[in-house]
Structure 1
Amino acid sequence: MLAHLRLNVPTELSEAVVELLREHDRATNVTLVKGASLVPEGDLVECDVAKELTGEVLRHLKDLGLGETGGILVSTPSAWPFAAARRLEEQAPGDPEDAVIWDSVIDKGYAASRPTVTFHVFLVLATLLAAIAVITDSAVLVIGAMVVGPEFGTVAAVALGVVFGRWGLCVRALRLLVLGFAVAVVVVAVLALVADLTGLVTSGMVSRPRPQTGFIWHPDRWSFIVALIAGAAGVLALSTEKANAMVGVFISVTTVPAAGNLALALGTWTVSEITGSLAQLAVNIAGMVVAGVVVLGLQRLLWQRVTAASEKLFFRT
């Protein structure tokens, strides 16, 4: 698997960048178009790099100053049917499926920490689905609410901020989580209040025994353990770009369902369930953040050595 680099290089750095890429035994298809870059003024350089060592190449480029004075774009080709690509893959340590491009992961963290209309709308809709799941005691709707909820990327951004010492990212992500859930709970609580006043929903519907959904406001030690496991799986899937695994993370933790139960309890003033819902929400977020920090920290320290050693571990040649 290759990563494609498109570099807008100021004229004074062009020779050093090209020399770096040509001498690097993990790059191929190195192309130089002099004077093609208008802003910044300089040259256009492109190349293909083994995904396993893309982070190393990016680090060398930033050491040259290209990150401050030029432009760096990273993309992933959908196919690479040529012999040099196969040679690059064979020479690079580890497996491309295990590769982590930290610059890409950090950029995803910043994207997930930006307050957007879609984030708030999805979180409100997910919380509303969870509230309906409580009323109807539907486990299916609970799962649906979990999948719709957009909060995991923001939780992962908090962990990224801690591990990489980017405290501004950490604060932004935490602020978005607090604001996002506050808005969602208030909106759904108001709707629940209207439904209560019109007789569509009653406090009894919320407080009655709910065998399918009662767990979402009863936090226990397993709630924290599940949050830890889901958080670990989530940041691993995020860093290695395993989108399929993310679905399992979404339907493992009851963050959004707890928010839905809280909103419904507030709207119908079912006091007995307010504290439990708040505790479940806090336990899930805390567990995922703790697991995210641990896993990302271990990845940052050991991942390159572990993936390089995987050649022998899995008897690859």
Structure 2
Amino acid sequence: MLHLRLITPPERTDAVVRLIESTVGTAHLAVLPGAARDPAGDLVLCDVAREAGDELIGGLRKLEIDRTGSIAVDSVGLSLSRHADRAEREAPGEGADAVLWEQLTDVTHEESTLTVTYVAFLVIATMIAACGVVLDNAILIVGAMAVGPEFGPLAGVCTALVQRAPRLALRSLIALLVGFGAAMVVTVGFSVFMDAVGLFTEGRLEADRPNTGFVYAPDWFSFVVAVLAGAAGTLSLTSAKSGALVGVAISVTTVPAAANAAVALGYGDMEQTWGSTQQLLLNLLGILLAGTLTLLAQKAFWARQRERTAAKIAER
């Protein structure tokens, strides 16, 4: 269940209450006239099944409550109520499958913001991966994948394409390009420094690397894994199962490929640099393609669910 806390102008409270009462899957409606002070208005509280939340929030936005008042949404950890149980039974589909498009847009907007913290994480992850490729250490590669924050902007691009939000798309692309660009430039300098102090050597980079050689040798398996990871990552965001993102992060060769390209560039090995760059682009493409198609499929699925629910209500 989701808990909605609304501040509504007094002249729109009746319309809001009618909307809530007419939305399948709502419960626990409470209206406190004049309780809100900033902004001034009425306080309206209600719970809604997660699978009906997107429809209700969309209706509230059409009433411009987000502009004239406030819409706050929280997840309900535990709700012991027969009214809540009935609301969840009446709502279409399953809550775990539901997509809250407003929440998804907000989350990806935040995750795709080009901040110092985002760039720092990506730079650190790329430097860890640089150590991993030179030492041929798979553990360091996995660690670097887990630290990398690049899935946020990738999800932002997918969301922007489906929701037709050009500003979010531009914001996400800038975060990707600037983030990886900065990470690779810093990693080139890092590899030069490590070579100067004798910790990196060109011989190690050029030697057979059974554990990390895949980062500069793209193939169809790389693309297939990226597609599967992109779908899994998107599902984890839309279903609020963020724990799956860790698995997604360590499934794709983005940060390691960027690191290998940077180290190879520092040594002038253009063959490995180009191979790693291809690996990076192939993984990014696979994630973007899968993420976008997954969101489109979910959008179509929930549109059909709403149509079925509306048809059942009409029959009554």
TM (norm. structure 2) is 0.93
Tell me the amino acid that sits aligned with residue 173 of structure 1: S
Q: Contact conserved, 2:231 with 2:290, CA < 8 A, in 1?
A: yes
Deviation at 1:220, TM superposition (A): 1.1
SS of 1:73's equivalent in the other structure is strand
Give the match for residue 9 of structure 2.
Answer: 10
Alignment of 1:244-283 (within 5 A): 244-283=243-282
- Distance in 2 (alpha carbons) for counterparts of 1:198 and 1:269: 18
Structure 1: gaps (5+ residues) = 310-317
What does residue 118 of structure 2 align with?
119
Partner of 1:176: 175
**1:242 equivalent in structure 2:** 241
CA distance in 1, matches of 2:165, 2:285: 19
**Structure 2 residue matching 1:252: 3-state secondary structure:** coil
1:304 Cα shift?
A: 4.8
Q: Deviations over 1:180-225 (max 9, x none)?
A: 0111111111011112223221111111110000001111111111
Secondary structure of 2:245's partner?
A: helix
Shift of 1:135: 1.5
- Determine if the alignment matches structure 1 residue 159 to structure 2 residue 136: no
Alpha-carbon distance in 2 for matches of 1:305, 1:203: 58
1:39-50 correspondence runs (5 A): 39-50=38-49
The alignment partner of 2:243 has SS state of: helix
The TM-score normalised by the length of structure 1 is 0.93
* Distance (Å, rounded) in 1 between the aligned partners of 2:85 and 2:75: 15
Q: 1:192 to 1:77 in 2, by over 3 A?
A: same
Deviations 1:60-112 (A, max 9, x none): 21222212222111110111112211111222222211111111111111111
Kindly report which structure 2 residues correspond to 1:94-105, keeping only aligned pairs within 5 A, or say none. Answer: 94-105=93-104
Count of aligned pairs? 308
Three-state SS of the structure 2 residue aligned to 1:42 is: strand
**Unaligned residue ranges in structure 2 (runs of 5+):** 309-316
Structure 1, residues 236-282: CA drift from partner, whole Å, max 9, x if none?
11111122222221111000110111121122333331101111111
Q: CA RMSD in A?
A: 1.7
Kept in 2: contact 1:203–1:269 (CA 8 A): no
Between the aligned partners of 1:136 and 1:178, the Cα distance in structure 2 is 27
Q: Is the contact made by 2:145 and 2:256 (CA closer than 8 Å) also made in structure 1?
A: yes
SS across alignment from 1:93: coil
Offset at 1:308? Answer: 9.4
Q: Which residue of 2 aligns with 1:192?
A: 191
- Which whole-Å CA distance do the structure 2 matches of 1:204 and 1:272 have between them? 15
1:67: which partner in 2? 66
Contact residue 52 and residue 94 of structure 1 kept, 8 A:
yes
Q: Tell me the amino acid that sits aligned with residue 124 of structure 1.
A: V
CA contact (8 A) 1:191 1:267 kept: no
Contact preservation (8 Å) 2:7, 2:36: yes
- Distance in 2 of aligned mates of 1:148 and 1:104: 24
Distance in 1 between residues matched to 2:273 and 2:203, nearest whole Å: 14
Q: For residue 314 of structure 2, what is the aligned residue in structure 1?
A: none
**CA contact 1:9–1:43 (8 Å) conserved in 2:** yes
1:210 alignment partner in structure 2:
209
